[in-house]
């Protein structure tokens, strides 16, 4: 490509390669020949191939097996610093049991094993252990 002189309508010019990174003006122009930098071509903004991976389908863990009675392995009356107490030993199934239905079933097993336990205070103590104590200290 030929660039004509800008200042004096001179016909002298220098040839430059097409696509070069600098432009050269005629030697007869009043300013010295200085290279003018060109910005590089912009990089493509979209990748040639998709890289996004679709999320894996959500899989919920299986529900725990239902706890089945019996829930009470044994009951034993004994003395302690608090007075007469009833020690209740749960079965492994009782440790998995939850809810009011299971609590009612377990209490009926306690009363069947130790009929003297059927008092409001004993029920409240049992319910406290069945519902709350095992949350704080499981097993």
pTM: 0.53
Comparing 16-20, 74-78, 80-84, 124-128, which segment has the lowest mean pLDDT?
16-20
* 83-96 pLDDT tens trace: 999 999 999 999 88
In the chain, what are the domain boundaries? Answer: 1-30, 72-136
Residue 32's contacts (CB-CB under 8 Å, 6 or more residues apart) are none
Look at residue 128 and tell me whether its pLDDT is greater than 80.
yes
* 12-52 pLDDT tens trace: 444 444 444 444 444 454 555 566 667 676 776 666 666 67
């Amino acid at each position: 490509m030929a660039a004509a002189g800008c200042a004096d309508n001179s016909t002298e010019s220098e040839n430059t390669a097409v696509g070069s990174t600098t432009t050269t003006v005629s030697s007869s122009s009043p300013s010295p020949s200085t290279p003018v930098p060109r910005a590089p071509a912009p990089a493509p903004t979209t990748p040639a191939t998709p890289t996004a991976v679709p999320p894996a389908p959500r899989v919920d863990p299986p529900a725990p097996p239902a706890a089945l009675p019996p829930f009470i392995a044994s009951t034993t009356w004994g003395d302690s610093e608090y007075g007469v107490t009833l020690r209740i030993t749960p079965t492994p199934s009782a440790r998995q049991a939850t809810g009011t239905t299971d609590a009612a079933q377990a209490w009926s097993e306690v009363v069947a094993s130790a009929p003297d336990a059927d008092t409001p205070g004993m029920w409240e103590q049992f319910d406290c252990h069945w519902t709350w104590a095992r949350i704080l200290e499981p097993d």
